[in-house]
Structures are given as structure tokens and as C-alpha cells.
Amino acid sequence: VRLDCLAMASLEQLLHDRLAPAFEDVAGAPADPTLRRSQHADFQADGALALARRLGRNPRDIAAEVVSHARLDDLCRSVQISGPGFINLTFSDEALAPLVAEMASHARLGVSRAEDPHTVVIDYSAPNVAKEMHVGHLRSTVIGDAAVRVLDWLGHRVVKANHLGDWGTPFGMLIEHLLDMGESEGAHELSQGDLNGFYKAARIKFDADDSFKERARNRVVALQGGDPQTLRLWRLLVDESEKYFLAVYGRLGVRLTEDDFFGESFYNDMLHSVVEELGRIGLLTESDGAKVVFPRGFTNRDGDPLPVIVQKRDGGFGYGATDLAAIRYRTQELKADRLLYVVGLPQKQHFEMVYEVAREAGWLVAPARAQHVGFGSILGTDGKMLRSRSGDSIRLVELLDEAVSRAAVSVEVKNPELDGATRANVAQMVGIGAIKYADLSNDRLKDYVFDWKRMLNFDGNTAPYLQYARARILSIFRRGSISAPAGAPVILVTEPAERALAIELLAFPSLIEDIAESLEFHRLAGYLYTLASTFTKFYEHCPVLRSEGDVQKSRLTMSDLTARVLAQGLELLGIAAPERM
């Protein structure tokens, strides 16, 4: 068993290490082999094409020369030049088997912990107090949770920052509405999660009643001035909403807790010094009475520079000022070197401008970097923004309840033998898992259609399919009353379906590394789906319980390894996987 900290080389890396020196020999300078997975072989190296252009030579000749310079005989059973000069590489079975054995004996499935861990602040979820969480907050919560899980598993220091919208002018009307209702009535309504009703009622009064509007305005001034009674009422609104949000997080099974609320108000005390520092550095400009910064490189359609508003004409601070304070706090106090902002695409420009101001102010200095982890919208099956039947934004709890009750029906159809308690438990995992997976399996930058039928289907790239695939592997062991072989694993790779599974399994470690950087969780989802389908073919073609001796040991180990990778992959996506279903 190898030590935890030793990296397992990926198949791609092994080939790269052999091909890169050969390319360099031929090129007289470093040249990238450009490896990719291939339909015709295990991998394909396309580097000869670019190199041929560079040297003005025939790419097939280059490919042949590279191959004659590379030592590949101990790794590959076939190396062929095809088409315009691709190098097709097929691993030998003898090379694959020990790698699979090594992965199987590794508790972390070949994925090493980061040698040089980063401090990563992940800004996600961030709903607004006294307002319903909308599906955009659902996306942020689910994607951010997957980022937390992957980076934490890789050994980075992860700080979860729930940038709650808990400050600003709407609190004037919200507090006055609370007073009109009576504190205990209002608190009750909020903690029950009737946030839409509360917010709307306040808004209607604000728009219709001038004296209410006046009270609301005065209340904002009292809030900003730190009036104790006003602050107490504000805190009450925030506390009740937080209770509701925590209930949603609990249902979703995400890692956010009450310790992770770093709402906008958290940064209030830092805002004056942000203004002061920006002024001192010479970045502040007056514009229409407001204090603003014009970050380099941002203009509107007419070519005029775009500002980040730091302090409004009335002295108040806005969203941008808070984000500047937050970025400074995160790099300077928390010593973060990577900042992730999991927020919808409409706010992309806002963040890019904030990052640029922070860079110019010296608050975001390499190697520290900020990354906007944007995402598209969730659409209904009609192709429009997802809404409830009444046209309101959907209440998340209701959506989650519906997922679980629909899942209960499909689970019962799939396996009528499960006892009631198990079924309820499985329905929970399938329903919530289906919603999360539907989100994570789509390219986050694109919109996706929220479709109950598709996400709860047991066939296809869905949570239930993967959960079931994993449970079915566990059931092989149960049926055979057999456990995964102990001790140094014996792996034999001979059948085509076996080697296909081996190649797929071995792709896991480098994929996780890639995802930690790109945060393209749909690639992890797609990988798990391919792995499960590859396993199905393996299981059809390679008898497991009906085989014997070392062949059986090897197949049991590969089955167990597949189940472990599936469970770990789902876990990284935040999806629970039942033992039986």
C-alpha cells in the first residue's frame, strides 16, 4: 500500500513522460505531445501535427521519428501512426493490472492530498433575509457545496462564506412591517418560511402608503445610525430567516452551518476604512456626488468608463463596497489565496470589476486569485424561467418535498420488496440526489431545464441511475455472501471489457485534479455515468460470481473498486448513495 501523500500517475501522465522527451529530441526544443483519449486506441497523441507545421515537414514522418525515439514497449502493446500523423497508443494488459491494483489498495483511490494546500474562500448560497431563496440560490448552494467537498477532500483549507443579503434599504420597510404585524406574529411567519408573503406585504404597503414609506425611510436612518431598538428588530429578522435557511440546508444535506453566515453586515465596520484606503491610494473619484472607482478595462457601449460605486451620495454604502471590504478581509485577514464566487452569470461583470479594483488596490496580489464560478438559469419544461404555478418564484422547501414524494413512487416501482423505513430513506436520497445531480451534470455556464421525469429516471445520466449502479455492485457481494478480497490485490486484465473498465477506473485521479481547478462538475458527473455504463458491460461479459480463483478475485476487486469510485464521486457531488435500493 502506498503512502497517502504519493501521487498516482495517470495513464496520460505515464505516456506524457515517455513521449515528451522523444518530441523534444525530434523538435530540438520542448514540444507538447498533446494526448487525448481516443476511440481507436486508449490514447492518441496529436503533437506531430503542430510540430510538423513548425518545422515545415511531413507530420507522418515526424510521428514515426518520435515513436522511434520513445521508450514505450513496457507500457504499450501497440503504437500506430494513423491518419495525418496521429500516434495511437494502446496499453498492454500487463501495464494496466498493477496500476489498478495500486489504486485498489489506496484508501483515497489514487487521489493524493495537495502537497501545498491553499486557503480557499468559497462564497456561495447567499440568499437574502426575509425573502424566499430562489432557484438561483439553489444552484449556488449545490455547486458551492460540491466545490467545498472536492477542495476539502484534496486537503485544502476551505472557508465557507455564506454572503447573506442581510443589510440595506429594504430593512426599513421590513422592520416597520414587523412592527405592524407584532413581533411574535412576524417572527412566526418568517421562521415557517413564509418569506415571500412577508416581503411582498411589506413591499405593497411601501408602494401604496406614503406614511409607511416615510416610516421605512426613517427606519433605515435609525438602522444605519446604530439605534439599539432598530438593531434588535433587524437581528430578529435575520435570526428567523437564518433558521429557515438552515432548515433548507439540512434538507439538502449541504455542509453549510450557522457558523458560515458572513452576511453583508459582517463587513459594515470595514467600509469606512475601505473608502479611506482607496482614497489614499488615489483610486477614488467623485461622480455625481458619489465616491466611485473606475477599474481599468471596463466601459459601457458608448466607450465611457464604468464605475464601482463605493459610497453613495447620501453617504450609504452598497453591494459593491461590501464586496470590496470582503475581498480585502479574505486575502488579508483570512490569508486566502483562492477566492471562489459561486454566483449567477448576470453578476459576472460586477465581480470582474470588483476584482480589478482589488488588484489595483493591492488587495488581490498573485499568487492569490479570484474566480467567478458563474452559472446559468434553471428553466421550466416550457423553456421559460422556472416558476411556481401561481407565477411566483418557487419555494425551495416545496420543491424538495415534491422531489422526495416523486422519488418514493419510483423507488417503490423499482423495488417493491423494500420495507417502509428503507424505502423512505432511499426516497430521500434519490429525490434530493436527483435535484442536485440534474444541476451538477449540466455545464454550469448553460441554462438547464428542470424536468422531473428526466431527473428521476433510473436510466440515463441521473442520480438514481448512479445510486442504483453502486447499490447493485454491493448486492453482488451480498448475493455471493462474499466480501471484497483482502490483502494485496490480485488484478488480471485480459478481456476487452476488463481493460475498458481498468482504463476508466484509472482516469479518476487526474479527473479530480482537473475539477478542483475548473470546477466543471458536469465532467465528474459524465465520468461517473461512463464508469457505471462501462461496469455494466464488464458485468455482462465477465462473470464474477461464476468465475474462480484469481480471476474471481480480480473481478471482485474491480467491482468493489468501481463501487468505491462511484460512492466517492457521488459524495464529492454531495449526493448520498444507499447501500440497497
Chain residues binding ligand ARG by CB under 6 A are: 123, 126, 128, 163, 165, 323, 326, 341, 343
In the complex, minimum distance from the CB of residue 286 to ligand ARG, in angstroms, rounded to a whole number: 25
- The Cα 450–Cα 427 span in angstroms is 19
- The Cα 408–Cα 428 span in angstroms is 8
Beta bridge partners of 86: 82
Task: Indicate the residue among 118 and 163 with the shorter CB distance to ligand ARG.
Answer: 163
Q: Are 2 and 102 in contact (CB under 8 A)?
A: yes
In the complex, minimum distance from the CB of residue 351 to ligand ARG, in angstroms, rounded to a whole number: 8
Task: Indicate the residue among 370 and 427 with the shorter CB distance to ligand ARG.
Answer: 370
The residues, ordered by sequence, that sit 6+ positions from 505 with a Cβ below 8 Å of its Cβ are 100, 103, 531, 558, 561, 562, 565
Task: Indicate the residue among 292 and 525 with the shorter CB distance to ligand ARG.
Answer: 292
- Cis previous bond, 30, omega within 30: no
Task: Indicate the residue among 96 and 342 with the shorter CB distance to ligand ARG.
Answer: 342
Residues across the chain: 581
* 469: amino acid identity, one letter: A
Q: Are 12 and 122 in contact (CB under 8 A)?
A: no
Task: Indicate the residue among 245 and 521 with the shorter CB distance to ligand ARG.
Answer: 245
In the complex, minimum distance from the CB of residue 97 to ligand ARG, in angstroms, rounded to a whole number: 49
In the complex, minimum distance from the CB of residue 290 to ligand ARG, in angstroms, rounded to a whole number: 19
- The Cα 124–Cα 138 span in angstroms is 10
- The Cα 144–Cα 253 span in angstroms is 13
Q: Are 77 and 90 in contact (CB under 8 A)?
A: yes
Going by the DSSP 8-state scheme, the letter that residue 168 receives in this structure is S
In the complex, minimum distance from the CB of residue 326 to ligand ARG, in angstroms, rounded to a whole number: 6
In the complex, minimum distance from the CB of residue 375 to ligand ARG, in angstroms, rounded to a whole number: 12
Task: Indicate the residue among 155 and 165 with the shorter CB distance to ligand ARG.
Answer: 165
In the complex, minimum distance from the CB of residue 54 to ligand ARG, in angstroms, rounded to a whole number: 45
In the complex, minimum distance from the CB of residue 170 to ligand ARG, in angstroms, rounded to a whole number: 12
In the complex, minimum distance from the CB of residue 190 to ligand ARG, in angstroms, rounded to a whole number: 17
The residues, ordered by sequence, that sit 6+ positions from 40 with a Cβ below 8 Å of its Cβ are 82, 88
Task: Indicate the residue among 173 and 343 with the shorter CB distance to ligand ARG.
Answer: 343
Task: Indicate the residue among 163 and 444 with the shorter CB distance to ligand ARG.
Answer: 163
- The Cα 430–Cα 425 span in angstroms is 9
Task: Indicate the residue among 127 and 307 with the shorter CB distance to ligand ARG.
Answer: 127
Tell me which residue of 530, 535, 526 sits closest to 559, measured CA to CA.
535
The residues, ordered by sequence, that sit 6+ positions from 52 with a Cβ below 8 Å of its Cβ are 58, 59, 61, 62, 85
